[in-house]
């Protein structure tokens, strides 16, 4: 009983750990400069310091220019500019190494002596050119995301014509999880590759879109960004329908954080406009974003939050970029630990083509049932990798990853998982009896991981609940065995497609029945998440859960999905006679509820645990409960 409670707490603490608290982001470096002025300016409640009296500005020839005729609509930040006729530099002390946001504001006005829209100039940051032969026709804001790991950041302006100018400058420390250096999927004509080392590149933001929503101003954004609506980029407006939720998104560790994108991005989306009868049941929603030059690498970040589904595991869709498949069978329920309306983002590296546009399409996947076919998108960011044209060759990895089981959202999942764990243990014992086998690389190969956040999930979660990687090696099953068991992933062996994802039923060489879950290639759910799941599931495998194995192996027959009173016949023969009828009944009731077709009808994890505890109490005292190892030892 002790152990049982302990395990319960492990799971609960894991769950509570997943929900991140709300704390406003306070950047370590936060320089806001009002250029060409000796007074401060207020912009969306932020104070920009006048540069005339500041220490940031280097000595040199420059002019503080005032707009004599400022538009009343314009921020006071833009009523002045610093004009330079020779080199000009701003130097900022860096207090925290890491990714920084550098924003340069330009508002070209006309004064007696200068017409600022005729200026042409270069800008570099710590020697790295970020703007070349730059001229400004309209109010403009250029944002660069760059790694700064030096004592200072120097922004250098050089006139390429007679003069240049700048209206305002921001240098801000980015949150650690904004750009994370893990392999990012490359989408394009070549074979699938991963792109490494994103954070070391200077990124220039080209588009920042609040899909299905309205404009978000710096005032309402966690990092003082501006997000604009997507309508003007939709290729066929009638294909899309806005979705809005009034509820705050369920941020989780491992998903996107509030700093990655604010609430408003995740609370709105575009989904398939299926009410339009002139459309076929299956179609894409497509956006086209102008990106300019051909052959340049871009980081495309797509934001998702399932605010349209009424239950888990109903939404499966495909993502295409420039006509190439970027993500197949995207299952947000799976990626967000089975929580609806939970923010998530995925990064892709894409080379721009001749069209001059970045084309993004979403459409229903083959896995979705026709009635529930849908596809969503909540936000898009497109960032140009400045001065990167050549694609570094990422390591080519097997994109296959075999998961024996995963959390599926209820007891059904736990049953399958426990079943798999037991089988894995049996399998291992059998192997040990034979001869020692070298570790096979085809066992559990970590997936190429897209995006930043799963990494932090790994480090934090494992620090709290994982006993270390040993367990996973102990449970390792050779891939060839899995292939054999599932007849090389025979489609006819898929069980519960739609609700369960790709779960195959199979039979191992020793005739043990197994449930095998095969991850979608390209999925961000990496080895770390999987390890966490197995850790938790294997911890709760003791005691009463063993009896559940018998149920899950033949779900449909049991229910028979039970009504005919055949319950006793399907219990594992090893356990028959040991389970008290009341306890058994409680189990079956719980299991049955978990198998309800709609997620909304299924109990929460907490309810499941409570019910199992209750069932255990009905079983105790006095009765011996078989543990996993016990049943294994009974094997001849």
Ligand X SMILES: *[C@@H]1O[C@H](CO)[C@@H](O)[C@H](O)[C@H]1NC(C)=O
Residues comprising the binding site for ATP? 517
**Strand pairing report for 184-187 and 344-351:** parallel
Please say whether the beta carbons of 335 and 523 come within 8 A.
Answer: yes
Best CA proximity match to 508, nearest among 420, 380, 389, 636: 420
Nearer to ligand X, 152 or 604 (CB): 152
Other C-beta atoms lying within 10 Å of the C-beta of residue 341? 19
Q: Give how far Cα 485 sits from Cα of 515, 520, 554, 582, Å.
A: 9, 19, 17, 36
Spatial distance between the Cα atoms of 71 and 69, rounded to a whole number of angstroms: 7
Please say whether the beta carbons of 307 and 414 come within 8 A.
Answer: no
What DSSP line would sit under 220-241, residue for residue? GSTTS--BEESGGGBSSGGGEE
Nearer to ligand X, 274 or 428 (CB): 274
Nearer to ligand X, 13 or 276 (CB): 276
Nearer to ligand X, 227 or 337 (CB): 227
User: Residue 181 Cβ, how far from ligand X at the closest point, in Å?
Assistant: 8
DSSP at 35: T
Best CA proximity match to 373, nearest among 383, 381, 382, 363: 363
User: Residue 252 Cβ, how far from ligand X at the closest point, in Å?
Assistant: 23
User: Residue 110 Cβ, how far from ligand X at the closest point, in Å?
Assistant: 4
Please say whether the beta carbons of 417 and 407 come within 8 A.
Answer: yes
Nearer to ligand X, 28 or 487 (CB): 28
User: Residue 97 Cβ, how far from ligand X at the closest point, in Å?
Assistant: 4
For the chain, the C-alpha Rg in angstroms (whole number) is 29
Nearer to ligand X, 60 or 467 (CB): 60
Q: What are the structure tokens assigned to 499, written together?
A: 């609700």
**Residues comprising the chain, all counted:** 636
Nearer to ligand X, 186 or 283 (CB): 283
Nearer to ligand X, 282 or 428 (CB): 282
Cis peptide before 164 (omega within 30 of 0): no
User: Residue 121 Cβ, how far from ligand X at the closest point, in Å?
Assistant: 8
User: Residue 77 Cβ, how far from ligand X at the closest point, in Å?
Assistant: 15
> Interface with ligand X by CB under 6 A: which residues?
71, 73, 95-97, 110, 115, 117-118, 122, 129, 132-133, 149-151, 158, 160, 196-197, 200, 217, 219-220, 238, 273, 276, 278, 282-284, 320, 323, 361, 363
Annotated binding site: 517
| Cα 252 to the center of its chain, rounded Å | 10
Spatial distance between the Cα atoms of 526 and 404, rounded to a whole number of angstroms: 14
Spatial distance between the Cα atoms of 421 and 475, rounded to a whole number of angstroms: 7
Nearest residue (beta carbon) to ligand X: 200
Strand extents, DSSP E, 107-183: 121-125, 128-134, 140-148, 152-159, 164-166, 168-173
User: Residue 318 Cβ, how far from ligand X at the closest point, in Å?
Assistant: 7
User: Residue 436 Cβ, how far from ligand X at the closest point, in Å?
Assistant: 35
């Amino acid at each position: 009983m002790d152990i049982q409670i302990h395990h319960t707490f492990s799971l609960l603490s894991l769950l509570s750990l997943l929900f991140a608290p709300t704390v406003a982001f306070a950047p370590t470096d936060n320089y806001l400069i009002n250029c060409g002025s000796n007074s401060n300016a207020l912009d969306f409640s932020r104070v920009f310091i006048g540069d005339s009296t500041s220490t940031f500005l280097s000595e040199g020839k420059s002019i503080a220019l005032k707009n004599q005729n400022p538009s009343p609509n314009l921020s006071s930040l833009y009523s002045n500019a610093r004009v330079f006729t020779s080199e000009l530099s701003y130097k900022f002390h860096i207090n925290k190494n890491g990714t920084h946001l550098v924003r340069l504001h330009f508002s070209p006005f006309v004064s007696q002596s200068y017409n600022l829209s005729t200026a042409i100039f270069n800008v570099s940051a710590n020697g790295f050119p970020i703007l070349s032969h730059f001229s400004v026709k309209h109010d403009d804001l250029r944002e660069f995301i760059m790694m700064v790991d030096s004592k200072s950041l120097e922004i250098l302006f050089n006139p390429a014509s007679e003069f240049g100018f700048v209206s305002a400058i921001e240098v801000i420390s980015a949150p650690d999880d904004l750009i994370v250096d893990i392999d990012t999927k490359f989408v394009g004509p070549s074979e699938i590759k991963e792109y490494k080392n994103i954070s070391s590149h200077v990124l220039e933001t080209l588009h920042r879109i609040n899909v299905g929503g309205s404009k978000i101003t710096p005032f309402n954004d966690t990092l003082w960004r501006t997000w604009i609506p997507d309508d003007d980029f939709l290729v066929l407006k009638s294909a899309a329908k806005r979705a809005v939720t009034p509820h705050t998104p369920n941020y989780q560790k491992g998903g996107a954080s509030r700093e990655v994108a604010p609430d408003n991005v995740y609370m709105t989306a575009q989904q398939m406009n299926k009410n339009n009868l002139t459309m076929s049941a299956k179609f894409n929603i497509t956006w086209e974003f102008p990106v300019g030059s051909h052959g340049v690498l871009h980081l495309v970040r797509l934001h998702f939050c399932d605010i349209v589904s009424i239950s888990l595991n109903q939404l499966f869709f495909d993502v295409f970029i420039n006509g190439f498949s970027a993500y197949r069978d995207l299952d947000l329920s799976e990626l967000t630990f089975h929580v609806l309306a939970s923010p998530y983002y995925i990064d892709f590296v894409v080379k721009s083509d001749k069209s001059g546009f970045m084309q993004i399409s979403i459409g229903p996947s083959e896995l979705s049932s026709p009635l529930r076919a849908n596809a969503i998108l909540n936000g898009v960011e497109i960032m140009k990798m400045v001065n990167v044209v050549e694609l570094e060759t990422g390591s080519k990895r097997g994109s296959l990853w075999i998961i024996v089981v995963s959390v599926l959202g209820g007891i059904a999942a736990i049953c399958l998982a426990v079943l798999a764990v037991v089988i894995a243990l049996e399998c291992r014992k059998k192997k040990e009896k034979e001869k020692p086998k070298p570790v096979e690389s085809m066992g559990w190969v970590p997936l190429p991981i897209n995006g930043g956040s799963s990494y932090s999930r790994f480090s934090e979660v494992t620090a709290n609940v994982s006993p270390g990687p040993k367990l996973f090696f102990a449970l390792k099953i050779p891939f060839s065995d899995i292939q054999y068991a599932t007849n090389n992933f025979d489609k006819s062996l898929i069980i519960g497609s739609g609700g369960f994802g790709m779960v195959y039923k199979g039979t191992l060489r020793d005739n043990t029945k197994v449930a095998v879950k095969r991850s979608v290639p390209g999925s961000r759910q990496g080895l770390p998440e999987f390890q966490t799941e197995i850790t938790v599931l294997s911890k709760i495998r003791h005691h009463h859960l063993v009896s559940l194995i018998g149920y899950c192996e033949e779900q449909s027959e049991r229910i028979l999905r039970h009504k005919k009173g055949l319950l006793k016949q399907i219990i594992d023969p090893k356990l028959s006679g040991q389970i008290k009828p009341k306890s058994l009944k409680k189990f079956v009731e719980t299991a049955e509820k978990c198998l309800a077709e709609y997620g909304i009808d299924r109990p929460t994890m907490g309810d499941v645990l409570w019910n199992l505890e209750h069932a255990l109490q009905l079983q105790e005292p006095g009765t011996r409960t078989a543990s996993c190892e016990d049943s294994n030892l009974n094997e001849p």
